[in-house]
Amino acid sequence: MKTLLKSMQNKKYGISEYKLSIFKGIVDDYEKEYGQNLVGIKCFEPEWDDKFSTALSIHLTKEQRFHLYEKNGACNGTGYDKERKAFAKKYAVLPLAARLELYCNTFGRDAVLNDDNTITVTFACTHGYYKRAREGKYHKPPENVEFYFERCAGGRLHEYQNALGIKLKIKSVDISKLNEDVLNPVIFVFDIVE
């Protein structure tokens, strides 16, 4: 949350000082409760930053949020950046479709290259929301789960960019299947930029 706030202060995101003050106030409130390092916040639970997520949905456009998450997605790296970059380097000579298929088979991912120059990723992880859902915590998705998965899309974007050696942009986040079953995967679609 603090990292995201720091990024939001960059002029390229076009967020006004007034709106930034709202987010700063939320962070300040959390720091008063949890201390400067926000120790004790359960950051892997989708509803942990409910006030911050709500403010994002009210004060920023979806495009602004996606742009922020492309730089600050949840679980960026997660300790596998070296392996992903090595994979990209090793298989750089393969066509993108072959690299993507090989990556999915090697690392247990589910993604397809579409004819419209996008990649669709079907995603369900072992921690965060899905860990809590498997434990029976959710009988329906939490109120702000869409914003949780928008951040998650940024992390997956980071993963696929590093593994495939390409540049991506978040196009959409579809959480609709969670309403049928809280364990269903979500769908991310990424535009291939270069």
Question: Both tokens of residue 72?
Answer: 């600050």
- Six-digit token pair at 193? 């930029």
What φ, ψ does residue 171 adopt, rounded to 5°? -100, -45
Range of the domain at 136: 1-194
Which DSSP string corresponds to the chain?
-HHHHHHHTSGGG---HHHHHHHHHHHHHHHHHHTTTTTT--TTSTTTTHHHHHHHHHHS-HHHHHHHHHHH-TTSSTT-HHHHHHHHHHTTTS-HHHHHHHHHHHHT--EEE-TTSEEEEEE--SSHHHHHHHTT--SS--TTHHHHHHHHHHHHHHHHHHHHT--EEEEEEE-GGGGT-TTSPEEEEEEE--
Looking at the structure of the chain, the number of domains it has is 1
For tokens 């004060």, name the residue: 59
Per-residue confidence (pLDDT) for residue 153, from 0 to 100: 94
pTM reported for the whole predicted model: 0.88
> Going residue by residue through the chain (194 aa), what tens digit of pLDDT does each one get?
788 899 999 999 999 999 999 999 999 988 888 888 776 665 545 555 678 888 988 999 999 999 999 988 877 666 788 999 999 999 999 999 999 999 999 999 999 999 999 999 999 988 778 888 889 888 888 877 888 899 899 999 999 999 999 999 999 999 999 999 999 999 999 999 98
